[in-house]
Chain A
């Protein structure tokens, strides 16, 4: 098998080492092939790129800033901490980068309807937002359990004009929402684009979604050099499916930086999974001895996914990145730590990355660490109020 350049083009079959591929029913194969060709064409087209850049700048608010955390760094005993502020984007997370790209691509392909899955609701809200902006129909599948946990995001999506449908089979969380979105797409593929929310699924999604998030990695590299005079020693991001991590890692893959993806202890696909095939891809997967997919359990609905994007599986297998995990208790501490020291309330997802930095403070002393603050914590405040009461 030929070597794929680190975070480069995985080629027509979408392989990252032995991971990736296109494991979807035949009904969807022509759509995946068409999408790969359309993305390749659009990504090389100046007019598409400038239309997307204009939306990212004037609608989403890019570039997002980078914040140097003096008080947090001091509390950690002398760590230089930088935050990439994706929490300040429109809709409150990095997710908007990908959905604006995919919604524009859907329009270019003549598909009038978007279907999406969502866990915490961030990707669903972002997709509903892009659909409203571009005048597209939008259906979002969300696990019944998550709809109850994230009632406000359900309301937001409906306010934005999207239809929100419950995924009521299996564990009734993110993986089941993906199943339902794929089933919808099997029936509607002729006029519908599946706006997948992470670097997972069949080719070309893992590659395409990473490329739509590359913008944040490029910005972060430039901003790090402006602030530090150099790239940081360590780049850290949380990993569920792994889209925000893929975006920021892509900016530093060819540098000397250590790349660290932080998984939740209850959903550690790289740390606790074995190779498997689900949702269109070959990757690491939490599963039982027979191959039945196991449910993930984490404080963060956005990371409640038993698999991980195939490129992360490859980065782990090749040793380019490492994937430690943190516990819910460590995340709760980190959520408060960043709020108290910097006046920034993080989403529970990037609080995983902060938790790792906090735990590793001794070995990070004197070094520089860039954390992708992938989303803001507003959506999690009610849940944290209950936990901390």
Chain B
């Protein structure tokens, strides 16, 4: 079992709601920000590898991608930096199919394993197309984290849960990434549907913009993935400490239940 799945399962067993912050690799002092997030109570962190055409991402993460790419971020460069990092919590990467395809499915999977990345989220590779990547990832010991959406029918949800590893990424609303002011009603619905059919930890992501929304969805879900709120903080302040402070606010809300 991957390090990220072990960590999320043991947190759940201990009655703790899990928090997985996302930050864009190559954006400012991103490695210090990852460490700050871990220190502030993240259970794992997700590192975005910037892509030129991120169709699942809203304006904040698009901008972070553009800034990081302009600063020279590359997939091998980001993985190399992760190799030097020891922040005490598991690492996952999130990126798009073409960067991994270009790197080579097997080569990317083994490089992830070598630098301590234990899970990967590739949102434009659905169940139908995941075979080549997921087989390579399984062999390397990297979890293929699959998405389930509010539009996913029941039979499909079963199949996604069966093929997914690490945790189930339940998309909280119909739409792209980006903080919303309040929790979409679809978020708890998809979390509850997923919890019915899988033993994998179920984390809700996309649209979780506030500590209150995170706490609310965790009445049902095992945890949350939060991206745009932290990335915006990073874009606006450039300060890893400021990111850490916001992570701590989410942590406190989840612990207060």
A289 to B102, CA, bound (A): 8
A282 to B98, CA, bound (A): 9
Are the CB atoms of A26 and B98 closer together than 8 Å? no
B238 CB within 8 Å of chain A: no
B100 partner residues in chain A, CB cutoff 8 A:
291
Q: A276-B101, A292-B69 are in contact. Are A26 and B129 (CB under 8 A)?
A: no
Are the CB atoms of B98 and A278 closer together than 8 Å? yes
Are the CB atoms of B146 and A26 closer together than 8 Å? yes
Residue from A26, A29, A280, A292 in contact with B51 in the complex, judged by beta carbons closer than 8 Å: A292
B174 partner residues in chain A, CB cutoff 8 A:
27, 186-190
B74 partner residues in chain A, CB cutoff 8 A:
290
A186 partner residues in chain B, CB cutoff 8 A:
55-56, 174-176
A278 to B66, CA, bound (A): 17
B51 partner residues in chain A, CB cutoff 8 A:
291-292
B152 CB within 8 Å of chain A: yes
B171 CB within 8 Å of chain A: yes
A127 to B124, CA, bound (A): 26
A24 CB within 8 Å of chain B: yes
B150 CB within 8 Å of chain A: yes
Are the CB atoms of A276 and B128 closer together than 8 Å? no
A48 partner residues in chain B, CB cutoff 8 A:
none
A341 CB within 8 Å of chain B: no
B98 partner residues in chain A, CB cutoff 8 A:
276-278, 285, 287, 291, 293
A179 to B98, CA, bound (A): 15
A25 CB within 8 Å of chain B: yes
A276 partner residues in chain B, CB cutoff 8 A:
98, 101-102
Are the CB atoms of B152 and A26 closer together than 8 Å? yes
Please name the residue on chain A nearest to B49 by beta carbon.
A290
Are the CB atoms of A27 and B102 closer together than 8 Å? no
B151 partner residues in chain A, CB cutoff 8 A:
26-31, 189-190
Please name the residue on chain B nearest to A12 by beta carbon.
B128
Chain B, interface size category, equals 35 or more
A188 to B173, CA, bound (A): 11
A-contact bits for B150-184, CB 8 A (1 contact / 0 none): 11110010001000000000010011100000000
Taking the closest CB of chain B, its distance from the CB of A292, in whole angstroms, is 4
A169 CB within 8 Å of chain B: yes
User: How many residue pairs at the A-B interface have CB separations less than 8 Å?
Assistant: 120
Q: A186-B174, A186-B175 are in contact. Are A22 and B69 (CB under 8 A)?
A: no
B36 CB within 8 Å of chain A: no
Are the CB atoms of B101 and A277 closer together than 8 Å? yes
A170 to B67, CA, bound (A): 11
Most chain B C-beta atoms within 10 Å of own C-beta, residue among A24, A27, A29, A287: A27
A175 to B103, CA, bound (A): 22
Which B106-126 residues have a C-beta within 8 angstroms of A? 123-126
B87 CB within 8 Å of chain A: no
A23 to B99, CA, bound (A): 13
A-contact bits for B183-221, CB 8 A (1 contact / 0 none): 000000000000000000000000000000000000000
Are the CB atoms of B56 and A25 closer together than 8 Å? yes
Are the CB atoms of A30 and B52 closer together than 8 Å? no
Q: A26-B160, A291-B101 are in contact. Are A169 and B66 (CB under 8 A)?
A: yes
28 contacts between A and B (CB under 8 A): A22-B126, A23-B126, A25-B55, A25-B123, A25-B124, A25-B147, A26-B151, A26-B171, A27-B149, A27-B150, A27-B151, A27-B171, A29-B156, A30-B149, A30-B151, A30-B152, A30-B153, A169-B66, A170-B53, A175-B53, A179-B55, A183-B58, A186-B174, A186-B175, A188-B174, A289-B102, A291-B102, A293-B98
Other than the known A25-B55, A26-B127, what 5 A-B pairs have Cβ atoms closer than 8 Å?
A: A21-B129, A25-B147, A183-B176, A189-B174, A291-B98
- Spell out B's residues near A (CB within 8 Å): 51-56, 58-59, 62, 66, 69, 74-76, 97-103, 123-129, 146-153, 156, 160, 171, 174-176
- Spell out A's residues near B (CB within 8 Å): 13, 21-31, 169-170, 175-176, 179, 182-183, 186-190, 275-280, 282, 285, 287, 289-293
